Structure 1
Amino acid sequence: MLRQWEAAGLDAGVFRYGLALLRLRYSALGLARLLPLERVLVGVESTQPDAFGGFHHPNQGYRHLQMQALITMYGPMATGLPENPPVAALDLLRSYAHDCLHYGSCRTYRLLGESVVRGQYGLNFRRPDGRSYSAPDPVGSRTTRNLGIVMEGACDREARTITRLAAEQCQIHEPSPGIDRYAYRDVTGLLDVDDIDPASASSPVTTAFLTAMASYQRNINDRYAAFLDEVGHTESYELHTVILSAIISGDVTTVCAWLDQHNGPYTFATLFLSPSYLTAG
């Protein structure tokens, strides 16, 4: 896809610069191998004339059993080329950086009858009957005590940081008001959910895209940021780094030790353990 863009005279340099950044950062976190590009499928054109792609497209995401990432090009997908190439390249970088961390997260599986079930994913554990170590957050919660939210938030926070650094280095600035501005703020981690107005979108598909963007910001990124502030205090960046390294290694003891040192004994279980996890199955 990048070659197609460059053949059309579009600059994909910000993606290549971001790729160099994430190689260094992820290596420091313990991720020895990035998601192979041959395992990344990027949709650039749709048979639906009003299709709108990007990180919040409903069919986008990492498939853990197939170990493949499905990504869509940001913006209208009628021609196969982006309407706003800089924002599309940043969105692609955020998506790839995000899915690299899902690809590199520690996972264990077991056979349950004829089904393959996941026993561990990063910091989280699951009983054979599906009971998770941590419970879902209450509806409307402004913070999180759910390990799935913590891990998703950690992966996206890191991906957005890399994207923001790449945008700054390549001097890609915030677009004028409209959906591209929301997308720019989203991929660079500068989004304020209260600024998003889905009703301002020009079509039902862009309304749905902005609605999904606002929901993800509110339920994932904002909750994770609140968690880091509450539990990490003035050392929230260090906690974020410890969490990411543990997601990759699967060694939860490093997070437990950090939390105990800064918040007292048994903090991990106090924060996350669901009573139902310990009950007899």
Structure 2
Amino acid sequence: MSAAVTGKLGRLGFGGAGIGNLYSAIPDGEALATVLAAWDAGVRYFDTAPHYGLGLSEQRLGAVLRDKPRQDFVISTKVGRRLERQDAAGHKDPEGFAVPADAVRRWDFSERGIRQSLEDSLERLGLDRVDITYLHDPDAFDLDAGIRQALPVLEKLRGEGLVDAIGVGTNSAEAALACVEATDLDLVMLAGRYTLLEQPGVPLLERCVARGTGVVAVGAFNSGLLARPEVPDDAHYNYGQAPREVLDRARALAALCRDFGVELPTAALHFPLRHPAVVNVTVGARSAGQVAANAERMDTSVPEELWAAVERWTPESP
């Protein structure tokens, strides 16, 4: 693990999908104010990707960070999906971002494609380097090709000093584990698979401890399911409507947290950091208010008695 990088991440990071207009558009001014709020709250790790709004997230993040002292923050972006410009012709992005379809994502694990993707990201960010580069969702395209073809390229970039640390970002603990076993990764960005609600990523995290690979936990709210003290009927889970049994489980967890004077989102933010593999929890935000709330929750003390109760708790006997 690159201690020079991981030591600067802090406990709370900023995830850039929201400011890439995930699901709905937000004005430029509001997006920039959101990033500034993260900075003012002491956040110094910022994550983005070309995938997020077809480069919009990188542009907005860079518009704020390029004016900050470069040694004072850590930034990561991702490779694997290269953007190829096209005429939007009135079309919207088909992959969940409220932006014109002025580019198409091309899976590209080649050395040339990865280097080009990184260069393009730097141009959008307005920076001369990023600290961390992740291979983005290799399992969504071709995991074997990602391991055989793309990860050696990332190792080469690190060896050349173009990036300080490399990793893989994915929703699949199994895919991440395969990458950890195959390559000397500094970091894994794991989405939604090690949360207060569920922990299928435990075998991966245990292996990361043994390998000296840090884990950045994202999706701590499970797509919003754990983001509010009271779980609404229309809560999302895994990027869709939460099934009834999942809603019931989340509500039982919320009640358990209340018994110890803790709100559900606060416990959800703190939970991943209890594992020795987890070096940071990165959370997306779409407004300055959301950033402030997340920072306040991260600074809130959670009693050890709650964690003991969580360990004993089962859905059948909350």
From the two aligned structures, give the one with the greater strand fraction. Answer: 2
Higher-helix-fraction structure: 1
